[in-house]
Amino acid sequence: MKLRDAPSACPSLWRCLPCPPAELRLDLVLSSGQSFRWWESSPGAWTGVLEGRVWTLRQDGDRLWYTVYGEENEHGEEEERDGCPAKAARLDVVETDRILRDYFQLDVGLSGLYRAWAAADPLFRKVASDFPGVRVLRQDPVECLFSFICTSNNHISRITAMIERLCQAFGRRLCCLDSRPFHAFPALSALTGADAEARLRALGFGYRAKFVSGSARAIAEGLGTEGLCQLRTVPYAEARRVLCALPGVGAKVADCVCLLSLDKAEAVPVDTHVWHIARQRYGVALGGKSLTPRAYQEIGDFFRGLWGPRAGWAQAVLFCADLRKGQKPACS
């Protein structure tokens, strides 16, 4: 199959949702380390896997366009006519609209939140004007958990490559676009095998191989995939406690999973960047020189006090800005 860049070539294969840039900036959100599975397949077009399907997304003014690729036959063939697939899988547009609205949490009004954070925090106001439309994704808990276990003491470029290899090795193959294969994120059961750790080590996961297979086992033998998803309905503190009991999951990874997949908008992941920002720019006074559990808690509490119940969302804006400091976004 061929990648699709833009609606103009085959308009019938695309749909759009109303969505102004102040509510969502696709480029900022999909490349700021919340999810590691999106790729800018051509300028302005983002291709990735969501809910077991391959999508290409594109923003054009106040519209968010999307197209979904069907699964290929066993030969990977697809008939074409005038450059368009002859029989593209009929989209269930109600379902795909819903998936996208849910993933981007489009029912949450972001511009109002920006106004409130800016009113409470001059530093936020200064940064946010250059980084509008940064919102928190609502990701699948399994994908989010295992992705962020891989982030510890690691670089984003390597994390992305590791997760790609994880999906290739353990995930279901979905389709091939311009001869590039796409795979679903593996199910929990795919990571519980006796040889999982060794395979992950061979894929360059290092010491995280044990954490990934260990957490997969622990969940499979404990709360299960359903139980993990049920953490969406329990209080933040409880979800955090459950997650921290898993191997390779400390306070920071637990907060990432809480914020990015379990609906805990108040969770503020404190990584080295946020710790630095808290001390240097907000002057948060802390006793020790290292990020102790107590300091971690205090920084989170400080930002929750400053930004309110969606502090994690505001943190995502600052984190995105910090990640891109030096390069101003082209405001198209």
Which position among 42, 129, 292, 332 is part of the footprint of DNA (CB under 7 A)? 292
| Least gap, CB of 262 to DNA (angstroms) | 15
Handedness of CA 198, 202, 206, 211 (dihedral sign): negative
Phi then psi for 311, rounded to 5 degrees? -55, -35
Buried (b) or exposed (e) across 197-230, using 16+ Cβ within 10 A? bebbeebebbebbbbbbbbbbebeeeeeeeebee
The least CB distance from residue 184 to DNA, in Å, is: 21
Q: Which of 252, 264, 304, 310 binds DNA (CB under 7 A)?
A: 252
Tokens 């990977």 correspond to what residue?
76
| 208 forms part of the interface with DNA (CB under 7 A) | yes
Which residue from 20, 21, 247, 329 is in contact with DNA, where contact means CB under 7 A? 247
- Choose the binding region for DNA from 21-29, 47-55, 177-185, 271-279 (rule: CB under 7 A): 271-279
Residues taking part in catalysis: 252
Count how many Cα atoms sit within 13 Å of the Cα of residue 48 in the half-sphere of its side chain: 22
Q: Which of 110, 256, 262, 265 binds DNA (CB under 7 A)?
A: 256
State yes or no: residue 198 binds DNA (CB under 7 A). no
Cβ neighbours for 249, distance < 8 A, ≥ 6 positions apart: 145, 149, 211, 215, 243, 257
DSSP 224: H
When asked if residue 139 is in the footprint of DNA (CB under 7 A), the reply is no
Considering the rule CB under 7 A, would residue 253 count as an interface residue with DNA? yes
Closer to DNA by Cβ: residue 4 or 252: 252
Angle between helices 272-280 and 293-307 (to 10 degrees): 70
Q: Which helix (H) or strand (E) holds 56?
A: strand 53-60
Cα 180–chain centre separation: 21
Interface of this chain with DNA, residues 15 to 54, rule: CB under 7 A: 32-34
Residues 6+ apart with CB under 8 A from 262: 141, 231, 232, 239
Distance CA 116, CA 128 (A): 12
Instruction: By CB under 7 A, name the one of 207, 224, 241, 281 that touches DNA.
Output: 207
Nearer to DNA, 21 or 250 (CB): 250
By CB under 7 A, is residue 201 in contact with DNA?
A: yes
- Min dist CB 206 to DNA, Å, is 3
Minimum CB separation from DNA for residue 96, in Å? Answer: 26
Is 169 a binder of DNA (CB under 7 A)? no
Q: How far is the CB of 246 from DNA (least distance, A)?
A: 7
Q: Does 289 bind DNA (CB under 7 A)?
A: yes
The packing angle between helices 311-323 and 110-120, to 10°, is 80
**Given the DSSP bridges, would you call strands 45-50 and 38-42 parallel, antiparallel or unpaired?**
antiparallel
The interface region with DNA, picked from 57-65, 150-158, 168-176, 184-192 by CB under 7 A, is 150-158
Nearer to DNA, 106 or 145 (CB): 145
Residues engaged in binding DNA (CB under 7 A): 32-34, 151-159, 161, 201, 204, 206-208, 210-211, 244, 246-254, 256, 269, 271-273, 287-290, 292-294, 319
